[in-house]
Structure 1
Amino acid sequence: MTRPRPTGRRTGAPGAGGTGSTDEPGSTDRPGTAGPPAARFRWGALVLLCFANFAVLLDSQSVILALPRLAADLGMSTGDAQWVLSAKLLTFGGLLLLGGRTADRLGRRRVFMTGTALFLVSSTACGLAPNGAVLIGARALGGVAAALMVPTALSILVNTFPEGRSRNTALAGWAGIGGIGATAGLLVGGLLTQALGWTWVFFINVPVSLLVLALAPALLTESRAAERQGSYDVAGAVTGTAALFAIVLAVIRASATGWTSPRTLGLFAVAALLAAVFAAVERRSASPLLPPAMLRRRALAGGDLVTLTMGMAAFGLSVASSQYGQVVLGYGPLEFGLLQSVMPTLAFVGAYAGQSVVTRAGLRPVVVACLLLLGAGSLLLSRVPADGSYVPDILWGLVVFGPGLGAGTAAASVAALARVPEHASGVASGLNVASLQIGGALGVAVITSTATTFTAAPGGPDGLTAGLRAAFLACAACAALGLVPALTLLRRSPADARREAGQRPGTGRA
């Protein structure tokens, strides 16, 4: 990797379907922002940011296996215990956009460290919770912390690495670590609950948070948007956050009350109304939370829509495969967690392999190929029998799905964040993270509803397997849905082609 030249010019990155690793104009030393850190510090910052992202994902997933025991200890009903998971998802998904915008205005390192401090407080309160109400409240605070930490960490990453190969590699590491964190959470949660008790699922975050807080001032450079004048968009913040809350809550409730129930439809109607009000407010605001011009960026819209559909397929497949492995085949949680780890491991490998292909071939071919891999892996799993076993019936579907997930999410992030103005990088990062989170929630709800609907009477392994086959087909449909934005929005424009031709004289392509 070459060091950036001391002219303050950024390195070109793939646009919406284009390629490029040469310099293009784009000042990084703006008023109110710190210059890019030296190359030797960038990779240390990347490790710290990925570590923080890993910790948040670990916290989200590890609670799943601890849930039965903590519910019994605290005297919580099944419905109340579900809110231990939903409370964090609700505040995390609802506040992501606001968290990214706050970081742009107040300082990204400052907001990241504030989120980490809240994560420390939340984890401590969860571990010490004397009853279910306190635990649910502390988990909601953990969602607020995650909404500050994750999009801000991604925004810091984008502003630390210049566009091009180095940023693509950094985003591949971010995506790969995310995949590993999702599965590692299941393993760690089962191990800690079994060996030390469920409280340690939360206490493990305390030393992690302290380490991040200690290293952040040394490894992360403070930065904020140069354009901070004007009033804060309070109306946009309230309506936009409320709309996201309503969407996430509707998705959470849909799997329990049904997609066509009055409560679910009412929540979606409220979300649509709030979204319309938010759009009207943003068009009239002097300092909008989400500048309307952002949504007109084809690459950003395409990358985030692809990310949403990939999140639907990935989270849905994880739920369906875990149900099949544990309920139908009888594997224990730790045993099946280890067996299922092949998928995130290959996702990590695929993320790093995919970023080099993106640099050479462009975004759209990589994203389309990855969506086809997700669909193919889901179709392989849709043939599972009631009397199956791991190697012939589960392994090969995971082997095909994993690399597509890793390379696809990394490429979609590159598309969504390419050439985004520095002052809007926090908002763009919040949108990208929100796309994955809302996609995941939607995928779990869709797959759960599909499996329940198609489970054959009178139940048992045969009936449940029939429902899970339909659920895997639904995962394939989610991947196929992602082909629409990939083929229509991630295409190279004539301006991109002319720019690439001018950047590389004497060649017919970038």
Structure 2
Amino acid sequence: MTQTSSNPTTRDSRWAALIVLCTGMLMIVLDMTIVNVALPAIQNDLGFSQSSLAWVVNAYLIAFGGLLLLAGRLGDLIGRKRIFLIGLGVFTVASILCGVSGSPEMLIAARFVQGVGGAMATAVTLGMIVTMFPEPGEQARAIGVFSFVAAAGASVGLLAGGVLTQSLNWHWIFFVNIPIGIVAAVLTNRLVERDRGIGFGEGADVLGAVLVTGALMLGVYTIVKTDEHGWGSLHTIGLGALAVAALVAFVVRQTRAANPLLPLRIFRSRNVSGANLIQIMMVAGMFGMFFLGTLYMQKVLNYSALEIGLAFLPTALAIGGLSVGLSARLITRFGPRPVLIVGLVLILVGLVLFTRLPVGGTYFADLLPAILLVGIGAGLSFPTLMTLAMSGATQSDAGLASGLVNTTAQVGGALGLAVLATLSTARTTSQLAGGSAPAAALTSGFHLAFGIGAVAVAVALVLAVTLLQSQPTVAEESDEDELLADAA
């Protein structure tokens, strides 16, 4: 059982601590998309080739996606607050190194370190939140705030990247993290209770840690390199097979280790397993809206970086308005499963609308309805998925469950981006070879990708309907408690 300090955390300080944790989380989430807008400026300044430029993003993704699960479990073992603070420190120092980078090699290395720090801080945040807010109603509202930060941060990052790059220069997309990281660390140290962790017991599962970290890093690396080698190449198939073999060896190891890194008991809950599977498919499908939607606005509609950020702002507002308030009340009233199903239906309809975007599309007639539907659906879906994914976690496994749900989101995003971008490019190339105009060829490729994204979300919807179990609402639990009290 995790031990906490003797001073009880007051209601007000818990909510203040939540804001601080989410501020640190926001800094990390923003960094994932804020860099995308600045890539052309970084390429011109540091002399990146077109192929090497992708590693500004890939280096971060490999470290971040590969270490989330390990970082989450380390939080359970030695204290989630400790891991969070170390992660913030590593991320902030790496941001300084990114900002002062004078060569491609230095920036790529610093981005890898940034991914390490981001994984450590992100993996334990949700686990800290659910232990601070054990009461279902408060926990739903707290998870809603976290979900807003995690989901809306991508949209805000596009806007912030455009503003900073155009008004200052690309260095400031990294320098802006420094004061945020310092303030978040200081306030976390003051407001968040210290937890000692459950300890290493019979020893740490070092072999398991090596296997799962290697499998995830190799898997993410294989996925992000498919745009260069293709899905059917020896490079992709060979490394993919190695990643799968390492993952299988990890699962076998977890059945035999005295103190496993990932206790398989966490998957006994259909809701926990189902929520993670659904999140992989949902994020894979949704990722196309941000990445390919950005390319559509930039290359077909000729939007500037700032205009693209403003175009996606309604998504952030919709996710924020729902995640922070309405979603929590709906989950409390109806339970997470019905709310999630409605959210997935709205995302699906929004992506279908994206498949109908014309070459000469206008924002209010063509883009805004689709963007709003996806934003509203995400605002309903992310908090419910977080609630379901953490529903089977014990006090000692909260960090692990938190790291797992963040890992599935990253795997879904990386897989979705690789599949959708590769197929979109292939369709565009085919259309150009057939004599289509560039704008028409690009739009055709985007249509295919959005359609595949819609299929992925449809699969998530089927999983939600068939796998998830209904949970008693807070009102039903209160009635049951009253009956038990009367019987006593």
TM-score strictly above 0.5: yes
Is the CA contact (8 Å cut-off) linking 2:2 and 2:195 kept in structure 1?
Answer: no
Check 1:409–1:111 CA distance in 2 against 1; reply closer, same or farther (3 A cut). Answer: same
Distance 2:377 2:477 in 1: 30
Check 1:501–1:166 CA distance in 2 against 1; reply closer, same or farther (3 A cut). Answer: closer
Is the CA contact (8 Å cut-off) linking 2:26 and 2:149 kept in structure 1?
Answer: yes
What do residues 438-482 of structure 1 show as CA deviations (whole Å, max 9, x unaligned)?
111111112112212322223411111111111111121111111
Is the CA contact (8 Å cut-off) linking 1:57 and 1:182 kept in structure 2?
Answer: yes
Q: Give, in angstroms, the shift of residue 173 of structure 1.
A: 0.7
Specify which of 467, 477, 480 is matched with residue 445 of structure 2: 467
Q: Give, in angstroms, the shift of residue 500 of structure 1.
A: 8.3
| 1:1-40 alignment runs, 5 A limit | 30=1, 32-34=3-5, 37-40=9-12
Specify which of 32, 57, 67 is matched with residue 60 of structure 1: 32
Match of 1:15 in 2: none
Is the CA contact (8 Å cut-off) linking 1:282 and 1:290 kept in structure 2?
Answer: yes
What do residues 239-267 of structure 1 show as CA deviations (whole Å, max 9, x unaligned)?
01111112211211123322222211112
| 1:93-132 alignment runs, 5 A limit | 93-132=65-104
Check 1:174–1:115 CA distance in 2 against 1; reply closer, same or farther (3 A cut). Answer: same
- TM-score w.r.t. length of structure 2: 0.93
Match of 1:333 in 2: 305
Is the CA contact (8 Å cut-off) linking 1:225 and 1:422 kept in structure 2?
Answer: no
Q: Give, in angstroms, the shift of residue 31 of structure 1.
A: 6.0
Match of 2:407 in 1: 434
Aligned AA (1:273): A
SS of residue paired to 1:505: helix
Distance 2:66 2:482 in 1: 43
Aligned AA (1:173): V
Query: Residue 389 in 1 paired to residue 367 in 2?
Result: no
Match of 2:213 in 1: 241
Match of 2:241 in 1: 269
| 1:86-165 alignment runs, 5 A limit | 86-165=58-137
Distance 1:493 1:123 in 2: 42
| 1:236-315 alignment runs, 5 A limit | 236-315=208-287
Q: Give, in angstroms, the shift of residue 324 of structure 1.
A: 1.4
Check 1:147–1:293 CA distance in 2 against 1; reply closer, same or farther (3 A cut). Answer: same
What do residues 49-95 of structure 1 show as CA deviations (whole Å, max 9, x unaligned)?
11111100112211111111112211111111110110000000000
Is the CA contact (8 Å cut-off) linking 1:33 and 1:226 kept in structure 2?
Answer: no
Is the CA contact (8 Å cut-off) linking 1:450 and 1:474 kept in structure 2?
Answer: no
What do residues 265-285 of structure 1 show as CA deviations (whole Å, max 9, x unaligned)?
112211110011101111111
Q: Give, in angstroms, the shift of residue 180 of structure 1.
A: 2.6
Distance 1:77 1:321 in 2: 24
SS of residue paired to 2:225: helix
Aligned AA (1:155): G
Distance 1:225 1:303 in 2: 26
Match of 2:375 in 1: 402
Aligned AA (1:491): Q
Q: Give, in angstroms, the shift of residue 132 of structure 1.
A: 0.9
- TM-score w.r.t. length of structure 1: 0.90
Is the CA contact (8 Å cut-off) linking 2:94 and 2:111 kept in structure 1?
Answer: yes
Check 1:111–1:336 CA distance in 2 against 1; reply closer, same or farther (3 A cut). Answer: same
Q: Give, in angstroms, the shift of residue 222 of structure 1.
A: 1.2
Match of 1:362 in 2: 335
Match of 1:478 in 2: 456
What do residues 138-192 of structure 1 show as CA deviations (whole Å, max 9, x unaligned)?
1000000011001112211111111401111111111112233211211221221
RMSD: 2.0
**Which runs of 5 or more residues in structure 2 are unaligned?**
none
Q: Give, in angstroms, the shift of residue 313 of structure 1.
A: 2.0
Q: Give, in angstroms, the shift of residue 112 of structure 1.
A: 0.7
SS of residue paired to 2:54: helix
Q: Give, in angstroms, the shift of residue 227 of structure 1.
A: 5.8
Check 1:297–1:328 CA distance in 2 against 1; reply closer, same or farther (3 A cut). Answer: same
SS of residue paired to 1:341: helix
Distance 2:22 2:91 in 1: 16
Query: Residue 487 in 1 paired to residue 459 in 2?
Result: no
Specify which of 406, 411, 415 is matched with residue 384 of structure 2: 411
Distance 1:323 1:110 in 2: 40
Is the CA contact (8 Å cut-off) linking 2:346 and 2:374 kept in structure 1?
Answer: yes
Match of 1:41 in 2: 13
Distance 1:493 1:56 in 2: 32
Aligned AA (1:398): I
Distance 2:344 2:77 in 1: 36
Match of 1:25 in 2: none
Q: Give, in angstroms, the shift of residue 493 of structure 1.
A: 7.9
SS of residue paired to 2:483: coil
Q: Give, in angstroms, the shift of residue 197 of structure 1.
A: 1.4
Is the CA contact (8 Å cut-off) linking 1:310 and 1:409 kept in structure 2?
Answer: no
Distance 2:208 2:244 in 1: 15
Match of 1:11 in 2: none
Is the CA contact (8 Å cut-off) linking 1:313 and 1:374 kept in structure 2?
Answer: no
Sequence identity, in percent?
35
Match of 2:352 in 1: 379
Aligned residues: 476
| 1:340-351 alignment runs, 5 A limit | 340-351=312-323
Aligned AA (1:431): L
Q: Select the structure that is richer in helix.
A: 2
Check 1:338–1:31 CA distance in 2 against 1; reply closer, same or farther (3 A cut). Answer: closer
Q: Give, in angstroms, the shift of residue 425 of structure 1.
A: 0.6
Q: Give, in angstroms, the shift of residue 335 of structure 1.
A: 0.9
SS of residue paired to 2:115: helix
SS of residue paired to 1:194: helix
**Which runs of 5 or more residues in structure 1 are unaligned?**
1-29
Match of 1:222 in 2: 194
